[in-house]
Amino acid sequence: MTSIQNKIILTGIKPSGSPHLGNYLGAMRPSIEMQNQYQQSIYFIADFHSLTTIRNAKLHQEYIYGVALDWLALGLNPDKTVFFRQSDNPYHTELSWILSCITPMGLMERAHAWKDAINNKLKEENVGLFTYPILMAADILLYQADIIPVGKDQKQHVEIARDLAIKFNNTFGDTFKLPSEYTPPEIASIPGIDGVHKMSKSYNNTIMIFAEEKELKKQIMSIKTDSTPVEDSKDPDKDLVFQFYSLIANSSDIDNLRDKYQGGNFGYGEAKKILFEAFLDYFQNARQKRIELANNLRYVKDVLSEGAKNSLKISEKTIENVRQKVGLKF
């Protein structure tokens, strides 16, 4: 039996804007925490995926570099991980095509993300968006990855990757390892500041990690709370401000805030100020580091090109094997 350390962890990061607390807690923090715990960690910028929605080249490039800065600032260690741009490795699209040829239409039609995008008219209906999970399956299977940290909304896509691996293995012989999603329940879906939807760029209900302080304060001050009067005791477990605080503060500070809520004469405005300070404190190093990295883009480019070389090296074996299995290699 392989021990956990022998496994490969992999995740993709879509460059579609600045990260919010939901992205960080649901996907970035667990990935960064796990980068040291496995034999190999592979994190890439999914810039083919972002083409399904972004139509402006300059903006796209800003997002791609932006996301590299975000991850490096938040603690991704390029010495421990293979960090690269998906579009630097053409095997992703090659494998995606090969997998698309064994993908049943129904499997794609049942994908929640596709159905949501179409039903809620959130995104343009294009074929890339429809086949998005196949490219994602290729991303995962190309590296024989075992563990895929993703937020709840991406879980089904990892299940699809597993289904396609099984289908391919059954059709052409054992080729791919079967991946599993990693989604700890307490962070699977971070709520938005509106208290209605999950936190998401699409709902404009976010707290942005790298926002200017003024903007950040505005976002935190607009977290939805109930109308319990200031004097009354409040139930911390039913409050969003407390929920956010619990995710970034240490346990004794969390207990202190809990006492304040329960003691009465403590308003939500004050709780929000405490959250704002805790947020700045928690992200202080990352916010500083991001500024430094932005002034040293050469370094970021070097990291990504080194990552690209490594990703090609690692994935070559699998793509060669796939070509052979399907009859494309003589």
148 binds, among ligand ADP, ligand TRP, none (CB under 5 to 8 A by kind): ligand TRP
**HSE-up (13 A, CA, CB side) for residue 225:** 24
What tokens does 130 get?
Answer: 């429809």
By beta-carbon proximity to ligand ADP, the closer residue of 72 and 319 is: 72
**Helix (H) and strand (E) counts for the chain?**
14, 5
Name the one range near ligand ADP by CB under 6 A: 114-122, 184-192, 233-241, 299-307.
184-192
Burial of residue 139, with CB atoms counted within 10 A of its CB: 0-12 exposed, 13-18 middle, 19 or more buried: buried
26 binds, among ligand TRP, ligand ADP, none (CB under 5 to 8 A by kind): ligand ADP
Residue 49 touching ligand TRP (CB under 6 A): yes
How many residues are there in the chain?
330
Site string for ligand TRP, 113-152 (x = CB under 6 A): -----------------------x--xx-------x-x--
What tokens does 98 get?
Answer: 């090969």
Residue 205 touching ligand TRP (CB under 6 A): no
Q: What is the DSSP string of 223-241?
A: -------TTS---GGG-HH
Site string for ligand ADP, 137-166 (x = CB under 6 A): -------------xx-xx------------
Q: Is 2 helix (H, G, I), strand (E, B) or coil?
A: coil
Residue 200 touching ligand ADP (CB under 6 A): yes
Residue 14 touching ligand TRP (CB under 6 A): yes
Q: Using CA atoms, how far apart are residues 184 and 71, in angstroms rounded to an integer?
A: 20
Using CB under 6 A, pick the residue from 53, 100, 202, 321 that binds ligand ADP.
202
Residue 16 touching ligand ADP (CB under 6 A): yes
Q: Using CA atoms, how far apart are residues 93 and 316, in angstroms rounded to an integer?
A: 13
Q: Using CA atoms, how far apart are residues 99 and 291, in angstroms rounded to an integer?
A: 41
Angle 168-171-177 from CA coordinates, rounded to 5°: 35
Name the one range near ligand TRP by CB under 6 A: 10-18, 95-103, 213-221, 244-252.
10-18
Strand partners, 43: 11, 83
Residue 52 touching ligand ADP (CB under 6 A): no
Q: Using CA atoms, how far apart are residues 254 and 309, in angstroms rounded to an integer?
A: 45
Q: How far is the CB of 197 from ligand ADP (least distance, A)?
A: 8
Binding residues for ligand TRP, how many (CB under 6 A)?
13
Strand ordering across the sheet containing 147-149: 81-85, 40-45, 8-13, 147-149, 180-182
141: closest CA among 321, 15, 328, 6? Answer: 321
Q: How far is the CB of 171 from ligand TRP (least distance, A)?
A: 22
Name the one range near ligand TRP by CB under 6 A: 8-16, 59-67, 166-174, 198-206.
8-16
Amino acid at residue number 108: M
Q: How far is the CB of 195 from ligand ADP (least distance, A)?
A: 13
| Helix 57-73 with 268-294: angle, nearest 10 deg | 100
Residue 86 touching ligand ADP (CB under 6 A): no
Residue 12 touching ligand TRP (CB under 6 A): yes
By beta-carbon proximity to ligand TRP, the closer residue of 115 and 329 is: 115
State the residues that interact with ligand TRP by CB under 6 A.
Answer: 10-12, 14, 46, 49, 136, 139-140, 148, 150, 154, 157
Residues found near ligand ADP in the complex (CB under 6 A)? 14, 16, 22-23, 26-27, 150-151, 153-154, 187, 189-190, 198-202
